[in-house]
Structures are given as structure tokens and as C-alpha cells.
């Protein structure tokens, strides 16, 4: 089950081509992405510091992250993400559709 929240996080797609999709996500305090699953492996790079609350359908994990910190996840994990901070946060998400397209 996803977080019970009516404040949506705001995605701004910056690049979407055959190789990658790059999206900036802006979250007011308490905002959520909504329940979703990525079709490709992806990276997240924090623009601001903040705490991501990640719901996997059973458990909620709080992950404090620093400005500039990054992480990666494989495709296919269903989840919902909430801003667990008392201030707005933002990150850039890079989904890799075709790793071979990154060469050259």
C-alpha cells in the first residue's frame, strides 16, 4: 500500500530518448511519487539534502541523504517515495534504457 498523501511530487522530464530518461523530482514536505515501478535500472542524485521515506508495500524505510549523494537501484522494484523532511527536497533520477547507447 502506498503512502496516504494528497500532495504529489512534481516530475520534470529533462531528457527522454532511446538511451535514457532523466527526470528532476521536486517534493514539498510530505509529497509522494505514488506507487510505481521502474522498467529500467536507475540512479538518483540528490540536489538538496533530505530524508526519503521509501515504502515497499510492507515496510517503510527512512533514508537520510546529503546534497550531491547518489544511489542506484535495479528495475522492477515496486515502491512509493515520500519527502520525510520538514523542507522541500529535490533529486535527479536517471533511468538507463539502453546501457550500450551510453558508449561513445
What CATH number is given to the structural domain containing 18? Answer: 2.60.120.10
pTM of the model: 0.92
Number of domains in the chain: 1
Tens digit of pLDDT at every position of the chain (104 positions)? 567 778 899 999 999 999 999 999 999 999 999 999 999 999 999 999 999 999 998 999 999 999 999 999 999 999 999 999 999 999 999 999 998 888 86
Residue 4 maps to a domain: yes
Work out the burial of residue 31: count CB atoms within 10 Å of its CB; fewer than 13 is exposed, 13-18 middle, 19 or more buried: buried
Structural domain for 27, as ranges: 1-66+73-80
Grid coordinates representing 37? 515501478
Amino acid at each position: 500500500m502506498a503512502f496516504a498523501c494528497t500532495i504529489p511530487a512534481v516530475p520534470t522530464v529533462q531528457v527522454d530518448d532511446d538511451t535514457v530518461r532523466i527526470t528532476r523530482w521536486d517534493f514539498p514536505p510530505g509529497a509522494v511519487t505514488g506507487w510505481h515501478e521502474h522498467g529500467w535500472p536507475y540512479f538518483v542524485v540528490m540536489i538538496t539534502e533530505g530524508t526519503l521515506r521509501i515504502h515497499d508495500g510492507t515496510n517503510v524505510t527512512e533514508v537520510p541523504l546529503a546534497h550531491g549523494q547518489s544511489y542506484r537501484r535495479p528495475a522492477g522494484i515496486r515502491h512509493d517515495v515520500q519527502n520525510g523532511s520538514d523542507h522541500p527536497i529535490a533529486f535527479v533520477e536517471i533511468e538507463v534504457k539502453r546501457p550500450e547507447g551510453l558508449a561513445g
